[in-house]
Chain A
Amino acid sequence: MISSATFHVITTELVVGSFAMAGICFLVLAIQSFGVFESEKVSLVTDYAGHFALGFGLLATPFAIFSGISSSPTSDLSSPLLVNKMFLSMIATGLAIAVLFTRTKAGNQLWASKPSSLIQSAAGLAASGFMLMTASAGGKFSRGESVLDFLNLPYDTIFLMPTWVSAIILVAGVLSAIIAVINLQKSSAVEH
């Protein structure tokens, strides 16, 4: 048996490593989307590697979140840093799910359109960035310092909305997501 803290370290290393790998791949894809350079081989490798790494990181994320909560000193959100960690990791999760879903539905057709490829690359990069910021906040919480200290990120400040605002965003978001998924399914069906 291992403690929650040790399990959290294992899962966060998996998450951060995977998201960092995905981030590099999406950076290359973004550069290619701007037409700075073109290589079919590089495009193919970064496409598959980036999405696979993102998917793997996404699978490990719930374990990292729950083990992180249970390994905190009071097993709950007792610090602004922990609350911000929760927000950042969930934003990264949402972006990563969207990126993977779009890639699955649109297939290679995704890269045929410049706006779509740019959105895909940017979303993948953002997912990686938010997850790395989450890891940075974790370092700040446990060791008092992190690699992103030079940015002076306001980890001690919480942006907390009223519950009813969150509920409205949630409901509107779910409805919009359903519409977007149907549209994506439609475009996918037209393509094939």
Chain B
Amino acid sequence: MNRITIVLSLVILLAFTSLGGANPGGVGDGDFDMQCGGACHGDASQNQTSPALLELSLDGDAYFGLPVSITASVSGIQFSSSDAIGLFLLTDVTGHSDLPEDGGWKVISDVNGGDNNYVEIGGSSFDEAYTISWTLKPTVIESTTFYLSIHHGGQNTPYFAISSGLNIDILPVPDNLPRLSSEYSPIISRDLGQQTTIPVATSDVDELAIEWRLVDRPSNSINATLVDNNSWEFELPPALQPSIIEWRAVMDGDGPTQITPWFRIAAQEPVLEVNQLQVYLQSLAFCIFFLTLILTLQSRYLNKEEDSPMEIDQTNLVPQQENSVGSTPPLPEGGLPDGWTMEQWKWYGHEYLEDEK
């Protein structure tokens, strides 16, 4: 029993090492602060400085409540065996409260079709340059300094670096500027095979044209349909395989023509929404059910096998007793001799009869 306990304990302890260890293959996109960037590589104190060159730039002016793109340029990366790099868009370098949301910005879309400040991208060689962008919207009128942080592996060592700051001043929206509504948030994902109607809410816009394209492909132009006052819509073709379409709006009105940043919409397999606890509990229930089924069947048949020889043994005993009783010598004519008991006669009666002869 002790051996089984020790083995089970070791197995359980070892099984949890993969959960508690580092994540050299990445952790997936998400909203992570810089401390998580350290935790992703197990121990932040073991990080080496990455030789990557990092640069942030703002595409155009940032108006209060209107989307704007921040572009990150990355080069000179030394890849790990998994050739994956993680990039953080941060508003602070203290390691906490450094998400764009903490600085009064909302991430609308990222390079992978999500709306996260941390994205992972794959690479293929040394010294390759990458340019990715986030589309964000300022929700408060105050200056913000953005930083780009990178995490990657290489030579069995985790690497980390952070860029110099990019200060962005938020401008108030000029009168009559054709623009998206400040409450507008574009759809960023859809299911495969789904014809998608994208609604667009605007202000001070008379005409709205849409440019859309597959990533790194030529763009197509379509006109959006006016649905209601300041409400437009246009359709994107269905995607047959996981892919990302970029689109932007060209807005004409009384003010100067405005072009929005590229928004991204990712087509993906429908995401399964399932209660994880329910799945784990059912898995365990299945495990125990089949374990019990076999044990019960085996205990039943094995006990049966144990029982049946015992029954045979007992039945064998009966004839033996009967034989022994049957071998009791016949009593003499006068009956049991004086002073003899029946038990004595049973065992020594033969000798008495022999003597009599």
**Per-position 1/0 for B290-304, Cβ under 8 A of A:** 111111111111111
Residues of the B chain whose Cβ atoms lie less than 8 Å from the Cβ of A99:
294
Residues of the B chain whose Cβ atoms lie less than 8 Å from the Cβ of A93:
287
User: Out of A76, A113, A161, A180, which one reaches B295, CB within 8 Å?
Assistant: A180
User: Out of A63, A79, A163, which one reaches B18, CB within 8 Å?
Assistant: A63
- Residue A43, interface by CB 8 Å: no
Once the chains bind, are A3 and B82 in contact (CB under 8 Å)?
Answer: yes
How near does chain B come to A82, taking the closest CB pair, in angstroms?
A: 8
A-B residue pairs in contact (CB < 8 Å), sample of 20: A1-B22, A3-B23, A62-B15, A63-B15, A77-B274, A86-B279, A87-B279, A91-B286, A94-B287, A95-B294, A98-B298, A109-B302, A110-B302, A113-B301, A119-B298, A158-B274, A173-B288, A173-B291, A176-B296, A184-B302
- Residue B318, interface by CB 8 Å: no
In the complex, A87 Cα to B19 Cα: how many Å? 20
Once the chains bind, are A102 and B295 in contact (CB under 8 Å)?
Answer: yes
- Residue A97, interface by CB 8 Å: yes
Tell me the nearest residue of chain B to A76, going by C-beta: B276
Pick from B24-32, B57-65, B139-147, B208-216 the stretch touching chain A.
B24-32
Name which of B15, B277, B302 has the most chain A CB atoms within 10 A of its CB: B302
Given A1-B156, A66-B19: A91 and B290 within 8 A (CB)?
A: yes
Smallest CB-CB A-B distances: 9 pairs: A3-B25, A98-B294, A173-B288, A94-B287, A180-B295, A183-B299, A62-B15, A94-B291, A94-B290
Residues of the B chain whose Cβ atoms lie less than 8 Å from the Cβ of A167:
281, 285
Given A113-B302, A166-B281, A183-B299: A77 and B272 within 8 A (CB)?
A: yes
Once the chains bind, are A177 and B291 in contact (CB under 8 Å)?
Answer: yes
In the complex, A190 Cα to B275 Cα: how many Å? 46
Once the chains bind, are A183 and B292 in contact (CB under 8 Å)?
Answer: no
Chain B interface size, under 10 / 10 to 19 / 20 to 34 / 35 or more: 35 or more
- Residue A148, interface by CB 8 Å: no
Once the chains bind, are B28 and A74 in contact (CB under 8 Å)?
Answer: yes
Once the chains bind, are B272 and A78 in contact (CB under 8 Å)?
Answer: yes
How many A-B pairs have beta carbons closer than 8 Å: the answer is 180
How near does chain B come to A38, taking the closest CB pair, in angstroms?
A: 19
Once the chains bind, are B305 and A170 in contact (CB under 8 Å)?
Answer: no
Given A62-B15, A63-B14, A83-B272: A170 and B285 within 8 A (CB)?
A: yes
- Residue B153, interface by CB 8 Å: yes
Once the chains bind, are B291 and A98 in contact (CB under 8 Å)?
Answer: yes
How near does chain B come to A14, taking the closest CB pair, in angstroms?
A: 13
- Residue B312, interface by CB 8 Å: no
A-binding residues in B (CB < 8 A): 11-12, 14-16, 18-19, 22-28, 81-82, 153, 156, 269, 271-272, 274-306
Tell me the nearest residue of chain A to B157, going by C-beta: A1
Tell me the nearest residue of chain A to B273, going by C-beta: A78
**Per-position 1/0 for A55-66, Cβ under 8 A of B:** 000010011011
- Residue A27, interface by CB 8 Å: no
Further contacts, 16 of them, CB under 8 A, given A87-B282, A109-B305, A180-B298:
A4-B18, A6-B25, A6-B82, A62-B14, A66-B15, A83-B272, A86-B280, A90-B284, A95-B290, A98-B298, A120-B298, A158-B272, A170-B281, A173-B285, A187-B302, A190-B306
Once the chains bind, are B292 and A180 in contact (CB under 8 Å)?
Answer: yes
Once the chains bind, are A90 and B287 in contact (CB under 8 Å)?
Answer: yes
Residues of the A chain whose Cβ atoms lie less than 8 Å from the Cβ of B16:
66
How near does chain A come to B289, taking the closest CB pair, in angstroms?
A: 5
**Per-position 1/0 for A40-57, Cβ under 8 A of B:** 000000000000000000
Residues of the B chain whose Cβ atoms lie less than 8 Å from the Cβ of A183:
299-300, 303
Once the chains bind, are A184 and B283 in contact (CB under 8 Å)?
Answer: no
Once the chains bind, are A7 and B292 in contact (CB under 8 Å)?
Answer: no
User: Out of A67, A98, A120, which one reaches B290, CB within 8 Å?
Assistant: A98
Once the chains bind, are A174 and B11 in contact (CB under 8 Å)?
Answer: no
In the complex, A153 Cα to B156 Cα: how many Å? 41
Given A5-B25, A87-B282, A163-B275: A119 and B292 within 8 A (CB)?
A: no
In the complex, A113 Cα to B292 Cα: how many Å? 20
Tell me the nearest residue of chain A to B153, going by C-beta: A1
Once the chains bind, are B299 and A95 in contact (CB under 8 Å)?
Answer: no
How near does chain A come to B28, taking the closest CB pair, in angstroms?
A: 5
Once the chains bind, are A184 and B298 in contact (CB under 8 Å)?
Answer: yes
User: Out of B153, B269, B282, B302, which one reaches A160, CB within 8 Å?
Assistant: B282
How near does chain B come to A61, taking the closest CB pair, in angstroms?
A: 9
Once the chains bind, are B22 and A79 in contact (CB under 8 Å)?
Answer: no
User: Out of B23, B81, B286, B302, which one reaches A87, CB within 8 Å?
Assistant: B286
